[in-house]
Amino acid sequence: MRLRTRLFAFSFLQLLALGALFVLTGYLLQQGILPLVEDRIRHQAITVAEHLSTDLEIPLGAQDEAGVREALAAATGEDPDFAGAVVKGADGTVVAQLGAGDGAKPSRPVVESRDVNVEGYRLGTVEVMFSRRRIDDAQRWFLQMAAVAGLALAMGALVSFRFIRAILDPMNRIMEFARHLEEGHLERRIPPDVAVSELKALVGQLNRMADGLEQRDAQLELQRDDLAAAREAALAASKAKSNFLANMSHEIRTPLNGILGVCDLLTDTSMDAVQSDYLRTMRVSADRLLVVINDILDISKIEAGKMAVERVRVELPELVRDVLRLFAGAAADKGLRLRVEAEAFTPRFLQTDPTRLTQVLSNLVSNAIKFTNEGEVAVEIHLDNLSGRAAVRLSVRDEGIGMSAEQLARVFQPFEQGDISTTRRFGGTGLGLAISRNLVNLMGGELRVDSRAGEGSRFDVVLPSTEQGPHVDTLSGHRVVLAGIRSAEARQVGRVLRDLGAEVVEVADAAAVDPLLFSGTDVLLVSARADAGVVRQLAEQPGVPPLAVLRGLGCPPGLEARPELLLPVFGADAVDLVLGQRRVVAAQPALPRAERSLRVLVAEDNRINQMLVTRMLETLGHHVKVVANGRLAVDAVMAGDVDLVLMDIQMPEMDGLEAARAIRRAGQVAVPIIALTANAMQGDAEVCLEAGMNDYLTKPVERAKLAEAVARIGGPPSVDLG
């Protein structure tokens, strides 16, 4: 309800109360007070009349006028309401009277009369009169009080109305002023001619507030202009940075593609030991340069908010083993023990980005090996929780130089690496950990660190998990015999099997396994390093349980094609082996050679890259034609002698994107096109696909990835050129 309505309602109620007061006063006078007073006076008159009728028997019977008067005076006393009395004889003549006579009666008196009787004989009558003055006084007093109250209420209503006007007018101005402020009219002000001092002070305060808002708005307008200019400058700088990174990537990756490609091709030639060492040094140096380039591009994508991660179902044991295979040689070269343990109840699958998780783990393991001179580097996988949710923790722990509290505070900042001496001794850009933390955050997890100077470091990658691992009694009632397995490996395998409820029997020498153990044993597990003849003899013994092989990361497949349990041992793998869901792991296949040759068109303007890609494709069994720009590529495809196109993006005359669009516009939709580019920025793959290409390869090109892409996209040739 608005204030105006409330105030007028208050005034109306005052007037209504005034009318009610008059009505109530009249009602009380007519129905309550006046009848009560009149009844009291009448009762008094009756009482006096009855007393006189008794007191006048003797004097009236004796015709004693003086006695009659004396009786009248004695009965009436000094009652203020008594107005007069008249005594008449039996014949109606007035014997005596007191007070007003018949000719001087008060106005509307209360009259009561009684007969004076003696032994049934009527001597006369007595009549008494009482005045109504008290009734008239009471009525007059109530009317006066009502008039005073009515006048007071009327004055109050008048004052209220004037007060309402004194408040409402300024309030209306204030509300109108507030509406103008809301609409942005900061130049409006409230007139100061206000009668109420409090409202006048409020008006002054509001006007001063409007002055401040107007000044602030002017300052904000200037700041908005400055911010708009700064935003435009930042966008221009960001675009320039992106263009610079794209050009830098292209200019560095193009010659780097030549270096790595030549190294790859040279591995197929005959070389002496010195040349092989030189080649290995060249390859390692080029790979390190590629890592630096990728780190710079990744941190740029993260800063620009363009780094995207996928979420797929990843087999965690295989991912961890792939990372460890990459660094097993580096750890061995430094004489470090690379120890890996997985909690038995760890789930096999994890919903995450396999590429980015591999990148993070590779960086952490690489750092651990790099900063550790002796001792061990341990990778441990455990169950954990993340903000109350189930999670898996992958820990990388080393016994290296460690970090001080000051170094820990900035360890995840880009381009930070302990101190200058650390950078000189161990190298690196200081981007790896900054990138890793951002990637883990994008995957919905946390990257934690704990370190002390001189005592080593531990990094924990904690990722949410929705998968279930084996339970504590999954292998209850099963027995596994470990035969000829080294103590360290036996401890790891035995711990996992026992945690899952299995019975474990260890035999130090595979040749000394007692056949009595065969009964009730589910799996006989031997080391991949065991003598093949001993294993064969075990396998030929009657009643022997299923035979399986425990193989470490650095041990190639052997011992025929038998079920394997790979180190590090995960509980899910152990369950599969014991319960009969066996996995036979074959040796890593060589690069596939095409059974039928494809006619491949290579559109590339760099002569070194032309030679490298041509040689790689020829070693895969394909026939190659090379052109130096996109226009020639369009002409070659239109000539109809091409099964597959490898298209560089940046070429003279017509670039690869425009060439792909021209080929598709010409109706050549059946010819697959694979982009071959040195650009590796966010969105480059999408641009290539939108232009009509089928796949995307980033330089430097590896033969394995090229072979996979050609096999996947190329399809069968139209003509057999084998």
Residue 146 lies in a domain: no
Q: Does residue 437 share a domain with residue 391? A: yes
The winner for highest mean pLDDT among 45-49, 216-220, 571-575, 685-689 is 571-575
Q: Which pLDDT band holds residue 716 (cuts at 50, 70, 90)? A: very low
Handedness of CA 251, 255, 258, 261 (dihedral sign): negative
d(CA 706, CA 594) in angstroms, rounded, equals 12
Q: What is the pLDDT of residue 241?
A: 65
Is the pLDDT confidence value at 56 over 90? no
Higher pLDDT: 90 or 168? It is: 90
CATH number for the domain harbouring residue 47: 3.30.450.20
d(CA 444, CA 442) in angstroms, rounded, equals 5
d(CA 302, CA 360) in angstroms, rounded, equals 14
Is the pLDDT confidence value at 587 over 50? no
Q: What is the pLDDT of residue 199?
A: 64
d(CA 435, CA 366) in angstroms, rounded, equals 14
Kindly report the number of other CB atoms within 10 A of residue 407's CB atom: 17
Compute the average pLDDT of residues 529-533. Answer: 76
Q: What is the pLDDT of residue 550?
A: 84
Vertex 492 angle, CA 486 and 493, to 5° = 85
Higher pLDDT: 278 or 448? It is: 448
Q: Does residue 65 share a domain with residue 42? A: yes
Q: Does residue 458 share a domain with residue 484? A: no
Instruction: Domain of residue 674: give its range.
Output: 599-713
Compute the average pLDDT of residues 140-161. Answer: 74
Report the range of poorest mean pLDDT among 306-310, 315-319, 397-401, 615-619.
306-310
Residue 693 lies in a domain: yes
- In the block, tokens 């007037």 appear at 15
Q: What is the DSSP letter of 638?
A: H
Vertex 240 angle, CA 238 and 245, to 5° = 95
Percent of the chain with pLDDT over 90: 13
Q: What is the pLDDT of residue 585?
A: 42
- The side-by-side arrangement of strands in the sheet containing 121-130 is 94-99, 82-89, 121-130, 110-118
Q: What is the pLDDT of residue 467?
A: 86
d(CA 374, CA 261) in angstroms, rounded, equals 35
Q: Does residue 426 share a domain with residue 400? A: yes
Q: Rounded to the nearest 5°, which phi and psi values hold at 351? A: -85, 100
Residue 188 lies in a domain: no
Q: Which pLDDT band holds residue 544 (cuts at 50, 70, 90)? A: confident
d(CA 174, CA 172) in angstroms, rounded, equals 5
Query: 648-696 pLDDT, tens per residue?
Result: 988 888 999 999 999 999 988 889 999 987 665 556 778 888 899 998 8
Q: What is the pLDDT of residue 28?
A: 64
CATH number for the domain harbouring residue 685: 3.40.50.2300
CATH number for the domain harbouring residue 326: 3.30.565.10
Report the range of poorest mean pLDDT among 76-85, 122-131, 234-243, 359-368.
234-243
Compute the average pLDDT of residues 122-139. Answer: 80
Q: Does residue 488 share a domain with residue 458? A: no
Q: Does residue 562 share a domain with residue 418? A: no
Q: Does residue 606 share a domain with residue 521? A: no
Q: Does residue 123 share a domain with residue 33? A: yes
Q: What is the pLDDT of residue 625?
A: 93
Q: What is the pLDDT of residue 288?
A: 64
Q: What is the pLDDT of residue 464?
A: 93
Q: Rounded to the nearest 5°, which phi and psi values hold at 311? A: -135, 100
Q: Which pLDDT band holds residue 194 (cuts at 50, 70, 90)? A: low
By three-state DSSP, how is residue 473 classified?
A: coil
Contact 365, 330 (CB under 8 A): no
Contact 212, 189 (CB under 8 A): no
Is the pLDDT confidence value at 611 over 80? yes
Q: What is the pLDDT of residue 243?
A: 66
Higher pLDDT: 579 or 81? It is: 579
Report the range of poorest mean pLDDT among 59-63, 66-70, 176-180, 691-695.
176-180
Distances (CA, A) of 200 to 4, 168, 196, 426, 698: 19, 13, 6, 76, 76
By three-state DSSP, how is residue 624 classified?
A: strand
Q: What is the pLDDT of residue 381?
A: 92
Report the range of poorest mean pLDDT among 157-166, 506-515, 524-533, 556-565.
556-565
Query: 384-394 pLDDT, tens per residue?
Result: 988 888 999 99
Q: Which pLDDT band holds residue 131 (cuts at 50, 70, 90)? A: confident
Q: Which pLDDT band holds residue 12 (cuts at 50, 70, 90)? A: low
Q: Which pLDDT band holds residue 298 (cuts at 50, 70, 90)? A: low
Higher pLDDT: 416 or 65? It is: 65
Element at 548 (helix H, strand E): strand 547-551
Residue 211 lies in a domain: no
Higher pLDDT: 643 or 585? It is: 643
d(CA 417, CA 422) in angstroms, rounded, equals 7
* Nearest in space to 471 (alpha carbons), one of 573, 581, 572, 566: 572
Residue 593 lies in a domain: no
d(CA 171, CA 203) in angstroms, rounded, equals 9
**Is the pTM above the cut of 0.85?**
no
Q: What is the pLDDT of residue 430?
A: 62
Q: Which of 136, 153, 181 is the last residue of a domain?
A: 136
The winner for highest mean pLDDT among 124-133, 142-151, 369-378 is 369-378
Q: Which pLDDT band holds residue 19 (cuts at 50, 70, 90)? A: low
Q: Does residue 605 share a domain with residue 569? A: no
The type of residue at 396 is V
Report the range of poorest mean pLDDT among 409-423, 437-451, 670-684.
409-423
Q: What is the DSSP letter of 156?
A: H
Query: 475-524 pLDDT, tens per residue?
Result: 888 998 888 887 777 888 889 999 999 998 888 888 888 888 888 888 88
Q: What is the pLDDT of residue 333?
A: 87
| Tally of domains within the chain | 4
Q: What is the pLDDT of residue 712?
A: 80
Q: What is the pLDDT of residue 491?
A: 84
Compute the average pLDDT of residues 578-599. Answer: 59
Q: Which pLDDT band holds residue 719 (cuts at 50, 70, 90)? A: very low
Q: Does residue 485 share a domain with residue 456? A: no
pLDDT averaged over every residue in the chain? 78
Compute the average pLDDT of residues 583-598. Answer: 54
Q: Which pLDDT band holds residue 186 (cuts at 50, 70, 90)? A: low
Q: Which pLDDT band holds residue 584 (cuts at 50, 70, 90)? A: very low
Is the pLDDT confidence value at 721 over 50? no
Q: What is the pLDDT of residue 245?
A: 64
Q: Rounded to the nearest 5°, which phi and psi values hold at 556? A: -70, 160
Residue 296 lies in a domain: no
Q: Does residue 455 share a domain with residue 487? A: no
Residue 294 lies in a domain: no
Q: What is the pLDDT of residue 555?
A: 62
Q: What is the pLDDT of residue 323?
A: 86
Report the range of poorest mean pLDDT among 427-436, 569-578, 597-606.
427-436
Q: Which pLDDT band holds residue 582 (cuts at 50, 70, 90)? A: very low
Report the range of poorest mean pLDDT among 115-119, 201-205, 260-264, 512-516.
201-205
Q: Which of 101, 136, 171 is the last residue of a domain?
A: 136
Residue 255 lies in a domain: no
Q: Which of 136, 154, 179 is the last residue of a domain?
A: 136
Vertex 251 angle, CA 696 and 362, to 5° = 60
Is the pLDDT confidence value at 299 over 50? yes
Query: 627-640 pLDDT, tens per residue?
Result: 999 999 999 999 88
By three-state DSSP, how is residue 342 classified?
A: strand
Q: What is the pLDDT of residue 32?
A: 63
Q: What is the pLDDT of residue 322?
A: 84
Q: Does residue 458 share a domain with residue 333? A: yes
d(CA 702, CA 262) in angstroms, rounded, equals 11
